[in-house]
Each structure stands twice: as structure tokens, then as C-alpha cells.
Amino acid sequence: NAGVTQTPKFRILKIGQSMTLQCAQDMNHNYMYWYRQDPGMGLKLIYYSVGAGITDKGEVPNGYNVSRSTTEDFPLRLELAAPSQTSVYFCASSPPSTDGYTFGSGTRLTVV
């Protein structure tokens, strides 16, 4: 099993550019999440989804969009990249139970 796969691993964007961070899981998990990690700040929830066709905002959604057309995929879209979006982005998935998440290995994004 691949688990949670994130692509790309690294990316440098110029201010104002757009990009999509890809996330796919093969565990048939209903729940999927996008977090960003900044030094000393822990993980902040950007968006989440409890199933295909259902998405909702997390703690820090501004500047991002998501879609969930299938159970497996949960892409995160940045429309107009800003330096404040320089961060490491983690996608995670979980079954609808009290077990913890399975995280991807992250995408390190730099906006210059």
C-alpha cells in the first residue's frame, strides 16, 4: 500500500502564480485533510473533507481552494501565491473512527 501520496515534494513559485498540490490515498479513507506547518507553530488545518463531494474550511483557509470529486483524491489549489503561503503542506487521511491520521510526506513550497 502506498498510503498517502503527495506531489510535488518541492516547488518554488513566483508571487501571483497558481498551482495545485496533489494528494491521493489508497486506503479508502472517507476523511481527508490539508494542514500547513510553519516553524514553531505546529500544524494548522486549511481544509478538510468527510467524503466525496463534501469539503469545509479549517482554521486557515484564505488563499486556498479544494475539491473532492473522488474518495481517493483531495487536491489543494493556490490561485494567487503570496509569500505568506511559504510553508510545508501536509495531506492526511483517516477512517471515520477515533484512530489517528496517516500523513503524506509533505510538499515544501516557497513563494518568492
- Contact footprint for other proteins (CB under 8 A): 4, 31, 33, 35, 40-45, 48, 50, 56, 58-59, 90, 92, 94, 96, 98-101, 103-106
Which CB sits closer to other proteins, 33 or 78? 33
- Sequence-distant (≥ 6) Cβ neighbours of residue 30 within 8 angstroms: 50, 51, 71, 95, 96
Which CB sits closer to other proteins, 14 or 41? 41
Which CB sits closer to other proteins, 12 or 50? 50
User: How does 97-108 read in b/e, with b if 16+ C-beta sit within 10 Å?
Assistant: eeeebbbbebbe
